[in-house]
Amino acid sequence: MTDQQPKQQQATTATISTFSELAKLADYSLMESLNCDPDATENGVDHDERQVFSGHYVPVKPTPIKDPEYVAHSDALFAQLGLADSLAKSADFMRLFSGDISQVPGPMRKVGWATGYALSIYGVEFIHQCPFQTGNGYGDGRAISVFEGVLNEQRWEMQLKGAGRTPYCRGADGRAVLRSSVREFLAQEHMHALGVATSRSLSLYVSKTETVKRGWYAEGSQSQNPDKVVTEPVAISTRVAPSFLRVGQIELFARRTREDENVDEQRKALAELEKIVLHLIEREYATVIDKQLSLPEKIILLAQAFRDRLTSLIAGWIQVGFCQGNFNSDNCAAGGFTLDYGPFGFADLFNPQYQPWTGGGNHFSFMNQPKAAQSNFEMFCSALQPLLTSEQDLLALDGVKNEFATVMESKMNAMWAAKLGLKHLNTESRKTLLSELQLLMMQTPVDYTIFFRELSSIPKGIRPLKKSFYTQLINDNAEQAAKNQQIETRWVEWFVQWKASLNSDMDSSIEQVSEQMKQVNPKYILREWLLKPAYQQAAVGDYSLIRELQEVMANPYAEQSQEIEDKFYRLKPLEFFNLGGVSHLSCSS
Ligand SMILES: Nc1ncnc2c1ncn2[C@@H]1O[C@H](COP(=O)(O)OP(=O)(O)OP(=O)(O)O)[C@@H](O)[C@H]1O
Ligand SMILES: [Mg+2]
């Protein structure tokens, strides 16, 4: 027997197969350094909207959904956490993750918590839009964390979404509907499978009897805004991440340091800011920032490390065709991963201005995401400033901030180069190769995923690439035919240039380069028109499409069966163009 075998056996026996074993792993020790809202009721039955003036969190008891039914769980995340699959349908587990925390065994607490955060949109602070005109009403309006603990040597937080009102609910119901919960549940795990950092999906339960009303689109509607009120079942999905700290949260405490003229209040606010920043380091950056360093040293390293993660994240989004849609600072995880799958979308057509959310505007569109991230990063750096006093430290932080665009650009270049199978895009001719490709993709237009996947096979000519062309969208008249001919000629020229670059970079076999390209150019992507039938069927109790999407989208870079290919590796059907709820959507809740 080798050394390896006993270890593997140990890993198997470490599986958590009962709820009480999971509960035993609860560990709130890091939270103890944080401040609880002094005005909160201790048992968390605090569900009315109100201003929260201070403290890092508010104890809140979730409101369970009525008659919960199991919809889905992520077997990939269960395996990573060491949870047995059988738990997902067990009574205790289901009770908690459908919102009933009243019966959990210790050391788990019978109360959850919500956090406040500030909001800035594209670098502009939003304060007066909160119901109290102070900014003290913004925060987790329907997200409630219920567990923090160490599983498989990593600390995780588990957070219910749609578990009822919190003091930050701003008059809303605190619920999430099945439609948006299915979208978020599937997208989170798909994103992980795509290799892009993200919060994860644990479980999804729906109520068999409780519904809420939401504005949505009538069948076949092309309206921009919802034109119908629909009654939808409520659901609770649970997401899991090392923490749910957002840029907006750091901003909130920084803002408070300059709000009050009273020196004592300022000092208190500064202490709260310092605590949340140290907590962020502990939760998200403990492995890269040494505990022994001084506060200013930690802060500069934190800014650098977050910049590194955030720029990689955005390059990852562009790589896979993802548009977050609403990339405000409150939807920007300070750990540098994807958070809040509300108005998101995976692009069918390549369009730099792709923006699935009708309320999002151009500034959060597909290719503007690097800029949106930069605004969030700048707000993050400004929020750290009150903790630095020396000129030298402030200059160092400014340096980290100012280099964002350069770092972002180099990550984008590396990402495009990888998608094209090239080693770099550093020369002028390579840059032209990329810009001409982007222009051609728009003018043709092409399906972003299918194009790069077909290119990854390194074809001999452009014919296979045409599989990605949306020629169906183009009018068939003489003028258009002439244009198409010109575009075709430009494609051929582009292809010849690309092949020449590929050959000049090639130091391994063509098969190896093709294989590498297939590792960054997914074959399967969670398109909105695939999600729609899945949540529609789920609303009538049929979860089979959700299961199928879970399986297919868990292996987005793999070749799968012919049947799967025929069904999922397809251009967007014509009837889905301009369709409300598919091509575009209003808010997501
Ligand atoms: N039905 C609702 N009830 C209470 N609050 C809500 C509801 N829908 C949205 N909110 C709150 O409005 C704010 C903005 O909504 P947004 O769509 O970004 O959030 P979300 O999808 O609920 O949140 P998250 O960022 O936690 O994924 C958030 O603070 C959110 O908690
Ligand atoms: Mg949000």
pLDDT tens, 388-411? 999 999 999 999 999 999 999 999
Which ligand has the shortest distance to the CA of 343? 1
Model confidence at 46: pLDDT above 90: no
C-alpha 471/C-alpha 151 separation (Å) is 51
589 band by pLDDT with thresholds 50, 70 and 90: low
Of the given ranges (7-11, 144-148, 280-284), which has the lowest mean pLDDT?
A: 7-11
Indicate if 488 and 538 belong to the same structural domain: no
C-alpha 485/C-alpha 506 separation (Å) is 31
Indicate if 62 and 140 belong to the same structural domain: yes
Indicate if 104 and 130 belong to the same structural domain: yes
Ligand 1 atom at minimal distance to the Cα of residue 212: 1
Is position 106 within any domain? yes
**Is 46 known to sit in a ligand binding site?**
no
Q: How far is the CA of 537 from the centre of ligand 1 (A)?
A: 25
Boundary residue ending a domain (394, 414, 434): 414
pLDDT of residue 2: 34
Indicate if 447 and 376 belong to the same structural domain: no
Q: How far is the CA of 553 from the centre of ligand 1 (A)?
A: 26
66 band by pLDDT with thresholds 50, 70 and 90: very high
C-alpha 353/C-alpha 133 separation (Å) is 33
Q: What percent of the chain has pLDDT over 70?
A: 97
Model confidence at 259: pLDDT above 70: yes
For residue 389, what are the domain limits? 255-414
Contact 293, 305 (CB under 8 A): no
C-alpha 348/C-alpha 356 separation (Å) is 11
**Is 325 known to sit in a ligand binding site?**
no
Of the given ranges (20-34, 190-204, 474-488, 547-561), which has the lowest mean pLDDT?
A: 474-488
What three-state secondary structure class fits 155? strand
Model confidence at 569: pLDDT above 90: yes
Is position 436 within any domain? yes
Indicate if 400 and 437 belong to the same structural domain: no
Q: 72-108, pLDDT tens digit by residue?
A: 999 999 999 999 999 999 999 999 999 999 999 999 9
342 lines ligand 1 (CB under 6 A): yes
Over residues 118-122, the mean pLDDT reads: 90
Q: Give CA separation, 141 vs 13, 62, 216, in Å.
A: 39, 11, 21
Q: How far is the CA of 140 from the centre of ligand 1 (A)?
A: 7
Nearest to 346 by CA among 317, 316, 321, 319: 321
Indicate if 341 and 473 belong to the same structural domain: no
Indicate if 142 and 180 belong to the same structural domain: yes
**Is 37 known to sit in a ligand binding site?**
no
**Domain count of the chain?**
4
Boundary residue ending a domain (213, 244, 275): 244
**Ion ligand 2 residue ranges (Cβ < 5 Å):** 331, 340
pLDDT of residue 588: 60
Model confidence at 13: pLDDT above 50: no
Model confidence at 444: pLDDT above 50: yes
169 lines ligand 1 (CB under 6 A): yes
C-alpha 98/C-alpha 286 separation (Å) is 32
Please tell me whether the overall predicted TM-score, pTM, comes out greater than 0.80 for this model.
Answer: yes
143 lines ligand 1 (CB under 6 A): yes
Is position 588 within any domain? no
270 band by pLDDT with thresholds 50, 70 and 90: very high
- Give the number of residues written for the chain: 589
Active-site annotation, residues: 330
Model confidence at 10: pLDDT above 80: no
Q: How far is the CA of 126 from the centre of ligand 2 (A)?
A: 14
pLDDT of residue 93: 98
What's the ipTM? 0.98
* Encoded tokens for 147: 């567990």
Is position 582 within any domain? no
**Is 275 known to sit in a ligand binding site?**
no
Is position 227 within any domain? yes
**Is 331 known to sit in a ligand binding site?**
yes
Q: Whose CA is nearest to atom 7 of ligand 1?
A: 174
Boundary residue ending a domain (396, 414, 432): 414
Question: Helical H runs in 260-294?
Answer: 263-284
Contact 110, 102 (CB under 8 A): yes
Indicate if 358 and 499 belong to the same structural domain: no
Is the preceding peptide bond at 445 cis, omega within 30 degrees of 0?
yes
Indicate if 370 and 304 belong to the same structural domain: yes
Q: 209-239, pLDDT tens digit by residue?
A: 999 999 999 999 999 999 999 999 999 999 9
Contact 313, 336 (CB under 8 A): yes
Q: What's 52-86 look like in SS3?
A: CCCCCEEEECCCCCCCEEEEEECHHHHHHHCECHH
Q: Whose CA is nearest to atom 25 of ligand 1?
A: 340
C-alpha 556/C-alpha 518 separation (Å) is 10
Indicate if 328 and 235 belong to the same structural domain: no
110 band by pLDDT with thresholds 50, 70 and 90: very high
Indicate if 121 and 64 belong to the same structural domain: yes
Ligand 1 atom at minimal distance to the Cα of residue 239: 27
pLDDT of residue 113: 98
C-alpha 28/C-alpha 586 separation (Å) is 37
Model confidence at 422: pLDDT above 80: yes
pLDDT of residue 12: 39
Indicate if 365 and 341 belong to the same structural domain: yes
Is the preceding peptide bond at 107 cis, omega within 30 degrees of 0?
yes
Q: What percent of the chain has pLDDT over 90?
A: 88
Residue bearing tokens 């405490």 = 253
Q: To test ligand 1's pocket by mutation, which of 58, 115, 142, 357 has the most ligand atoms within 8 angstroms of CB? A: 142
Is position 583 within any domain? no
335 lines ligand 1 (CB under 6 A): no
For the chain, the average pLDDT equals: 94
Phi, psi (degrees; rounded to nearest 5) at 550: -55, -45
Is position 268 within any domain? yes
Q: 454-476, pLDDT tens digit by residue?
A: 999 999 999 999 999 998 777 66
Q: How far is the CA of 78 from the centre of ligand 1 (A)?
A: 26
Is position 250 within any domain? no
CA angle centred on 174, ends 173 and 176, rounded to 5°: 105
482 band by pLDDT with thresholds 50, 70 and 90: confident
Helix axes 404-419, 295-320, angle to 10 degrees: 30
141 lines ligand 1 (CB under 6 A): yes
